[in-house]
Amino acid sequence: MFTLPKEVNDFLITFTKKKYPIYVVGGAVRNLLLQKPVTNWDFATAATPEEILQLYPDGFYNNQFGTVGLEKEVAGVKLIFEVTTFRKEGQYRDRRHPDKIEWAKTIEDDLARRDFTINAMAYDGQRLIDPYDGQRHLREKRIVAVGDPDKRFTEDALRLIRAVRFAAQLEFLLDEPTRLSIQRNAPLIANISAERIRDEFFKILVSPHPDEGVLFLKNTGLLACLLPEVDICFMIPQKSPKRHHIYDVGTHLAMSLKHCPSADVITRFATLLHDIGKATTFRRDKTTGLITFYNHEVAGTRLVQAIAERFRLSNLEKKKLVTLVKYHQFTVNEGQTDKTLRRFIRQVGTEYLNDILALRTGDRIGSGARPTSWRFDLFKKRLVEVQKSPFRVTDVKITGYDVMKVVNIKPGPKIGKILSKIFNDVEEGRLKNERAPLLSYLRDLGKS
Ligand code: ATP
Ligand code: MG
């Protein structure tokens, strides 16, 4: 049916020689059927974790999931094979974890506990096992729950967001009974840990259609549970006299995300969140009808800080997300001085400059504007230019050591003060950033 890479085939044979049935499962089977490259190989086998470890002693066993991970190389690329013993699952009283994991005897039992029909297929190297019509649903581009959707979503509420994730990743639609069940059961997502939700949500953000993923989440009621701050934006209008906006705030956020040219997950997240402060700063003037959102980036920054905590982002991710939202309203104007541009670069940080420009591009297109303008192009060019001249104190061509030696002073705060005065003079063009004039400046200083 398909040709498997040699390493995968050999792996299967190692198990079958010992009379352990083993199958390729999960995303790998989907990708084989879709003729997409497989980077992630998952296996299901009748062998218990102990038996797998006997075959592969350097495998690492993850107790919580009953999975043995093995480092492998396929066509020169290092990756992890994840091997899980056939399971059936018991009760899920907490809607999260089965109360106990029971090993199953057959692959059919194992497939029955899987979430969606397109994920409930198995391939043993010759034969495809497809008890729930996964191949047909793959062709029809439908996400269909295995068995009774209400039962499946109440067992494990993470599946609610996984359904949307697969729809966004694969460009599929939610099958109607599955969609209605997600709608009915959306509040159960509150039982799921922030980390597991974040991992699925981030996969939606980096999918080819993150905007549609967000709209799916909204229409199923999941967004109201996950990101109420974004959900409410769909009720905030911004069309008013003298304003260029054509969408409500929520639609604008989704459209900005759609057009954000960055593939980076935090930049995409920031693009989705950049205007959430508008929900709390919305004002409509009674007489003129004019809508304003004064200081919405300040309100938004606070909300985003709380979201970053809730999603358990790392410190670095949090810093980036907050910075991008905080400064997203930056001014683009040909009359700005170099100094103003430098201040902007220092606020945002050179490392996030391209990300904030990508956010602005998304924001522009998401407001119905062209991707760029001569003004925005000039701004981008100038950002590159002004970074060529000294940018930080450490870019100045003399050091604290020079200061001590030439001015003849001992180590102390005075050195920093002198250096930053010199930097300031260099930045504003009063001094040339070359050693000779800078040293002569220091000599004068030493004399006075
Ligand atoms: P990806 O390409 O993202 O790895 P995948 O389908 O392999 O997609 P995984 O999260 O790696 O997704 O899970 C592997 C398989 O395990 C799934 O295809 C599915 O059969 C099963 N599975 C994973 N999570 C669940 C769950 N919460 N409920 C039921 N089955 C699940
Ligand atoms: Mg996988």
Separation of CA 79 and ligand 2 centre (Å):
12
Neighbours of 182 (CB within 10 A): 28
CB of 231 closer than 6 angstroms to any ligand 1 atom: no
Q: Do 111 and 232 reside in the same domain of the chain? A: no
What type of residue is 215? Answer: L
Task: Determine whether the shortest distance from the Cβ of 363 to ligand 1 is under 6 A.
Answer: no
CATH number, domain with residue 240? 1.10.3210
Query: Does residue 157 fall inside a structural domain?
Result: no
Does residue 435 fall inside a structural domain?
Answer: yes
What's the CA-to-centroid distance between 26 and ligand 1, angstroms?
A: 6
The per-residue pLDDT for 339 is 86
Strand arrangement, sheet containing 22-25: 60-62, 67-74, 77-85, 41-45, 22-25, 122-123, 128-129
Q: Are residues 232 and 365 in the same domain?
A: yes
Kind of pairing, strands 41-45 and 77-85? Answer: parallel
Q: Which atom of ligand 1 is nearest to the CA of 159?
A: 27
pLDDT along the chain (448 residues), means of 10: 90 96 96 92 94 92 82 88 87 63 88 96 96 97 97 96 96 96 97 95 97 96 97 88 78 97 98 93 85 87 97 97 96 90 93 97 92 94 86 86 92 92 86 91 88
Percent of the chain with pLDDT over 90: 74
Instruction: Ligand 1, residue 155: give the atom nearest the CA.
Output: 28
What's the pLDDT at 99?
62
Position 422 in a domain? yes
- What DSSP string describes 53-102? HHH-TT-EEETTTTEEEEEEEETTEEEEEEEEE-EEE---TTSSS-SSEE
| Dist CA 307 CA 318 (whole Å) | 9
Domain edge (last residue) among 362, 386, 410:
386
24 - beta bridge partners? 43, 123
Domain span at 243: 228-386
Number of folded domains that form the chain: 3
Whether 152 is in the pocket of ligand 1, judged by its Cβ within 6 Å, is: no
> In terms of DSSP bridges, do strands 142-143 and 173-174 run parallel, antiparallel, or are they unpaired?
parallel
Residue at token pair 């001249």: 389
Q: What is the pLDDT of residue 90?
A: 64
Ligand 1 binding pocket includes 156 (Cβ within 6 Å): yes
pTM: 0.87
Q: What pLDDT is stored for residue 190 in this prediction?
A: 94
Is 351 inside a domain boundary?
Answer: yes
The pLDDT tens digits for 136-155 are: 999 999 999 999 999 999 99
The verdict on 238 and 382 lying in the same domain is yes
CATH (domain of 435): 1.10.246
Atom of ligand 1 nearest to the CA of 158: 27
Q: Which of 386, 409, 438 is the last residue of a domain?
A: 386
DSSP string across 290-356:
-EE-TTHHHHHHHHHHHHHHHTT--HHHHHHHHHHHHTTT----TT--HHHHHHHHHHH-GGGHHHH
Residue of 87, 119, 196, 202 to test ligand 1 pocket, by largest number of atoms within 8 Å of CB = 119
Q: Among 93, 108, 140, which residue terminates a domain?
A: 140
Cα distances (Å, whole numbers) of residue 175 to 164, 179, 425: 11, 6, 66
Same domain? For 375 and 409 the reply is: no
Instruction: Using most ligand atoms within 8 A of CB, pick from 24, 31, 32, 42 the residue to mutate for ligand 1.
Output: 42
Residue 311 sits in the same domain as residue 269: yes
Give the DSSP letter of residue 4: P
Whether 203 maps to a domain, the answer reads no
Q: What's the pLDDT at 237?
A: 84
Would you call 205 exposed, middle or buried from its count of C-beta atoms within 10 A (0-12, 13-18, 19+)?
Answer: buried
- CA 96 to ligand 1 center in whole angstroms: 15
User: What integer pLDDT is reported at residue 94 of this predicted model?
Assistant: 63
**Are 90 and 57 part of one and the same domain?**
yes
Q: Which two tokens stand for residue 366?
A: 């998401």
Residues 117-126: pLDDT tens digits? 999 999 999 9
Q: Is residue 172 part of a domain?
A: no
User: According to the model, what pLDDT value does residue 96 have?
Assistant: 62
Do 344 and 400 have their domain in common? no
Domain co-membership, 233 together with 381: yes
Q: What are phi and psi of 328, to 5 degrees?
A: -65, -20
Same domain assignment for residues 258 and 355: yes
Q: 232 with 376, same domain?
A: yes
Do 355 and 378 lie in a common domain?
A: yes
pLDDT in tens, 5-51: 999 999 999 999 999 999 999 999 999 999 999 988 999 999 999 99
Verify that 370 and 405 share a domain, yes or no.
Answer: no
